[in-house]
Amino acid sequence: MTELERNLGRRWFEEVWNQKRREAIAEMLLPDSVIHDGGTDSTGPEGFYPFFDRMNNALSEIHVSVDDSFAEGDKICVRWSVTARHTGSGLAILPTGVTIQVTGISILRVKGDKLIEGWQNWDMLGMMEQIQQAARRSATYISAP
C-alpha cells in the first residue's frame, strides 16, 4: 500500500468532516463506491451526500480526531472520535445546544486515491441518548413552575 493510500482515511475525516468540504466526497469516492453504515448502504457521492447534509444540518462545530489507524492489504482501519454541537433539527429533534462526544471505527477499502468500500461502526445510540437527555432537561426546565 502506498503512503497516499495509507493516508486516505485521515484525509477523508479531515477534509470531509473537519473542513466540511462537500466536494471532497466526490474527490475520494467513485460513483460505484459503497459505504455500509449500520443497516444502510450508500453508493457513490450521490448516495453519501444526504447523510453528509443531514449531519451538517443537525450538528455544528464538528471535529473528528483520528485516534489510531493501520493498514493491511487494500484496507485501512481508522479508530476515531468526534465532538460536535447539536444546533440544528436534522435528526428530528429540536436543537439542544449540547456538545456530544462519539467514537467509531471505519474500515476502508482503497485503490489509489479513492475509497472503494467502507464499513462504519459508530455509537449512533450514544449520540442520540446525549441529545435526547439534553432535550428532556430543557423540556423539564421550561415546564417547571
Domain ranges in the chain?
3-85+101-122
Question: CA geometry: angle at 66 spanning 64 and 68, to 5°?
Answer: 155
Determine the pLDDT at residue 139: 60
Residue 141 has pLDDT above 80, yes or no: no
CB 62 within 8 A of CB 89: no
pLDDT in tens, 19-48: 999 999 999 999 999 999 988 999 999 999
Q: Global pTM?
A: 0.88
Identify the sign of the CA torsion 36, 111, 82, 15.
negative
How far is the C-alpha of 137 from the C-alpha of 120, rounded, in Å? 31
Pick the CATH number of 3-85+101-122 from 3.40.1390.10, 1.20.1600.10, 3.10.450.50, 3.40.1410.10: 3.10.450.50
The predicted-structure confidence for 82-129, as pLDDT tens digits, reads as follows 999 999 988 888 999 999 999 999 999 999 889 999 999 999 999 999
Cα separation, 141 vs 127, in Å, equals 22
What does the alpha-carbon distance between residue 138 and residue 119 come to, in Å, rounded to a whole number? 35
